Amino acid sequence: MVFPFSHSGQEHMAQKLLLHVKPGHPVAIHVSTFPKLSINHTVVAFEAKDIGTGILFTTYDPNQPNKPSSLLFDRATRTFLLPACNYFAGGRVDVYEIYYKWDY
């Protein structure tokens, strides 16, 4: 990561992820708080749902393997929000797609 993440860039990423995340086609996503890294982690999104005010991604978190986690893109603020868990206090995160298999 070299550059900070813009709100418009995060909005574009949310739309891209909404298109890419399909049943049976998970997408690896990097979540961080840049430049201060209170989280620097990867999750796998396996479901994406447009909920009107935002996009709700259901994820697999290897740090919490027994239950699905979530990641929300809030359209009003054009930011991603990760809920609190045992290793992160919760709040705004920067997101980018790490891996998407194009030949589905």
pLDDT, tens only, 3-60? 678 999 999 999 999 999 998 889 999 999 977 888 899 999 999 999 999 999 999 9
Residue of 91 and 5 predicted with greater confidence: 91
As given in the structure block, the two tokens for residue 102 are: 């194009």
Q: Residue 66 burial (CB < 10 Å; 0-12/13-18/19+)?
A: exposed
Total structural domains within the chain: 1
Report which of 52, 48, 41 is spatially closest to residue 82, judged by C-alpha positions: 41
- Confidence at 101, pLDDT banded by 50, 70, 90: low
3-state SS, the chain, equals CCCCCCHHHHHHHHHHHHHHCECCECEEEEEECCCCCCCEEEEEEEEEEECCCEEEEEEECCCCCCCCEEEEEECCCCEEEECCECCECCEEEEEEEEECCCCC
Range of the domain at 70: 7-99
Residue of 1 and 88 predicted with greater confidence: 88
2 in any annotated domain? no
24 in any annotated domain? yes
- Confidence at 78, pLDDT banded by 50, 70, 90: very high
Q: What is the pLDDT of residue 4?
A: 75
Across residues 79-96, what is the average pLDDT?
Answer: 95
Across residues 69-78, what is the average pLDDT?
Answer: 98
1 in any annotated domain? no
25 in any annotated domain? yes
Chain centroid offset of residue 17 CA: 8
| The amino acid at 50 | D
